[in-house]
């Protein structure tokens, strides 16, 4: 149960961090457009998120289902209602706040940008469900591969995880480009140039995060149902009750994966805004001259390679931490079984505290190095290439930009792969437990359990950690930009 609580808390914090960072970024862009909208442009993100909270509460309260109905359908209906109410709220917010005599059509352009964000969040819900729900092809192919052993199960799971990165990335690209172009066409001008593009992207991000409250509730649903299933099993309830909790647990795996997909989508949009802000920060320290990131320079290309490498190294350290903690716990459990035979006979209680202590201390110690890497790497890259720059006083800042660009791209792809692959492995096991391919205790089920064991650190440790990595790198480089010039 501990990993469920920690996973839920970590991802909740991640979503709130996304909301806070993107709200602040959008408000800063509102300051840039102060001459067009005044204080209203700064307040818009707060108003949209307020509408989102109210809409999420109504959506959550609307969730109802019958005994024989699919719980995922009920959750989806609540989400669609939330998205619809958020869209209505954004319409009135844009019409009320984004009033500009110089650009009278700006409000509906930015409303369209917000709708792009809402549509993006719905698309992520559909895509994640497709790759992690047991009703669809990806999970069923993993279950089918389990019939021939753990190796084919793992190969197919890796294949599904890699495939699952395609549609989310296409969705993010469409959302970024379309919202930027719609915002640019709004008529907002600064110094004779169209200036609404970035603000349009920020408003799209607000539209996507408008349903954040409901998504977070769906995420919490996962650990609750997982732990409920464990309690039912430990208390030796009838098989009919366990079948119901298994189905709820399967839906919970999907909602957890859905939240991770939603978080990585918002992280991608936030990273774009923060990357743009970094370039603007460098321009301010460079007498208003904009810096161009040239990957044909060997220094910049090398820094970009380091950014991609950092994502893999960080993921490796996270997975290693899980493996070492698991080995320590297994060793301790075997020791207790050997020294206290009454545990297996039910006459003696195990020493739970020792296992909890191993996991807690191991988790804290193991994440020191990954956390330090995220802080040290961008600073080291910037200062080293600054020293190597010679007459090129912007080389350090340019190298950091290349580093950040590739780290963000690789991080988004890796996080999607880990999150969706892990969720698909878990639900493939649940699918077999419904009775297909021999059901529980069959050879296919044993192979699926191995795949699920591999997928758990993917979706519960390494994948969610990358969301924080992406945003933390962007924030650090933005704050320390003057160091690199």
Spell 24-55 as b/e; 16+ CB within 10 A means b: ebbbebbebbeebbeebbbbbbebbbebbeeb
10-residue block means of pLDDT along the chain (485 residues)?
A: 49 59 72 79 88 92 83 87 94 89 86 93 88 89 94 95 93 92 85 77 88 85 81 79 78 76 78 81 81 89 94 92 85 87 81 83 80 90 89 88 92 91 90 88 92 89 84 85 86
Task: Please give the radius of gyration of the chain, using alpha carbons only, rounded to the nearest integer.
Answer: 24
Looking at residue 88, its pLDDT comes to 95
The per-residue pLDDT for 17 is 60
Token duo for residue 159:
């294949």
Contacts for 8-14: CB closer than 8 Å, 24+ residues apart: 8/219, 8/220, 8/222, 8/223, 10/464, 11/219, 11/256, 11/259, 11/260, 11/263, 11/464, 12/216, 12/219, 12/220, 14/263, 14/464, 14/467, 14/468
Per-residue confidence (pLDDT) for residue 341, from 0 to 100: 83
- Output the pLDDT for position 9: 47
The sign one gets for the Cα dihedral 184, 185, 188, 193 is: positive
Copy the structure tokens of residue 169: 């990335």
pLDDT of residue 18: 60
Q: What is the pLDDT of residue 146?
A: 94
Are the beta carbons of 210 and 118 closer than 8 angstroms? yes
Measured CA to CA in angstroms, residue 319 lies from 5, 146, 223 at distances of 19, 23, 21
Q: Is 187 exposed, middle or buried (0-12, 13-18, 19+ CB in 10 A)?
A: middle
Q: What is the 3-state secondary structure (H, E, C) of the chain?
A: CHHHHHHHHHHHHHHHHHHHHHHHHHHHHHHHCHHHHCHHHHHHHHHHHHHHHHHHHHHHHCCCCCCCCCHHHHHHHHHHHHHHHHHHHHHHHHHHHCCCCCCCCHHHHHHHHHHHHHHHHHHHHHHHHHHHCCCCHHHHHHHHHHHHCHHHHHHHHHHHHHHCCHHHHHHHHHHHHHHHHHHHCCCCEECCEECCHHHHHHHHHHHHHCCHHHHHHHHHHHHHHHHHHHHHHHCCCCHHHHHHHHHHHHHHHHHHHHHHHHHHHHHHHHHHHHHHHHHHHHHHCCCCCCCCCCCCCHHHHHHHHHHHHHHHHHHHHHHHHHHHHHHHHHHHHHHHHHHCCHHHHCCCCCCHHHHHHHHHHHHHHHCHHHHHHHHHHHHHHHHHHHHCCCCCCCHHHHHHHHHHHHHHHHHHHHHHHHHHHHHHHHHHHHHHHCCHHHCCCCHHHHHHHHHHHHHHHHHHHHHHHHHHHHHHHHHHHHHCHHHHC
d(CA 176, CA 306): 25
Longest Cα–Cα distance in the chain: 82
Listed in sequence order, the residues at least 6 apart from 378 whose beta carbon sits closer than 8 Å to its beta carbon are 400, 403, 404, 473, 476, 477, 480
Measure the CA–CA gap between 470 and 412, rounded to whole angstroms: 8
Q: State pTM to two decimals.
A: 0.84
Amino acid 167: pLDDT? 93
Evaluate the CA torsion angle 339, 345, 347, 348 in order and state its sign.
positive
């Amino acid at each position: 149960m501990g990993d469920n609580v920690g996973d839920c808390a970590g991802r909740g914090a991640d979503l709130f961090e996304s909301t806070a960072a993107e709200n602040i970024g959008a408000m800063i862009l509102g300051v840039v457009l102060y001459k067009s909208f005044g204080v209203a442009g700064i307040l818009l993100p707060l108003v949209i998120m307020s509408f989102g909270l109210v809409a999420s509460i109504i959506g959550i309260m609307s969730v109802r289902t019958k005994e024989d109905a699919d719980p995922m359908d009920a959750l989806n209906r609540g989400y669609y209602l939330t998205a619809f109410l958020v869209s209505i709220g954004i319409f009135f917010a844009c019409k009320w706040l984004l009033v500009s005599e110089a650009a009278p059509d700006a409000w509906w352009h930015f409303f369209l940008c917000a709708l792009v964000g809402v549509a993006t969040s719905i698309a992520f819900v559909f895509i994640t469900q497709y790759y992690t729900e047991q009703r669809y092809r990806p999970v069923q192919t993993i279950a089918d591969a389990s019939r021939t052993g753990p190796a084919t199960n793992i190969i197919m799971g890796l294949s599904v995880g890699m495939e699952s990165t395609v549609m989310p990335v296409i969705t993010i690209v469409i959302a970024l480009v379309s919202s930027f172009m719609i915002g640019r066409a709004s008529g907002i001008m600064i110094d004779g140039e169209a200036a609404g593009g970035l603000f349009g992207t920020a408003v799209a991000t607000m539209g996507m995060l408008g349903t954040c409250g409901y998504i977070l509730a769906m995420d919490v649903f996962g650990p609750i149902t997982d732990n409920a299933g464990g309690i039912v099993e430990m208390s030796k309830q009838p098989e009919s009750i366990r079948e119901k909790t298994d189905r709820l647990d399967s839906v919970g795996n999907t909602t957890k994966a859905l939240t991770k997909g939603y978080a990585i989508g918002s992280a991608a949009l936030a990273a774009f805004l923060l990357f743009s802000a970094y370039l603007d920060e460098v321009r301010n320290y460079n007498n208003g001259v904009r810096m161009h990131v040239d990957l044909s320079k060997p220094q910049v290309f090398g820094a970009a390679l380091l950014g991609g490498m950092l994502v893999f190294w960080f993921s490796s350290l996270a997975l290693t931490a899980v493996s070492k903690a698991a080995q320590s716990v297994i060793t301790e459990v075997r020791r207790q079984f050997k020294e206290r035979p009454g545990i297996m006979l039910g006459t003696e209680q195990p020493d739970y505290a020792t296992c909890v202590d191993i996991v807690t201390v191991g988790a804290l110690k193991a994440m020191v190095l990954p956390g330090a890497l995220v802080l040290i790497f961008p600073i080291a890259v910037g200062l080293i290439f600054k020293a190597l720059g010679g007459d090129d006083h912007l080389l350090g800042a340019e190298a950091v930009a290349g580093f950040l660009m590739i780290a963000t791209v690789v991080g988004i792809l890796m996080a999607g792969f880990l999150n969706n692959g892990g969720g698909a492995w878990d639900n493939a096991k649940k699918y077999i437990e419904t009775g297909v391919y021999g059901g529980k205790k069959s050879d296919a089920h044993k192979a699926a359990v191995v795949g699920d064991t591999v997928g758990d650190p993917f979706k519960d440790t390494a994948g969610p950690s990358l969301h924080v990595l992406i945003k933390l790198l962007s924030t650090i480089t933005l704050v320390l930009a003057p160091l690199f010039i």
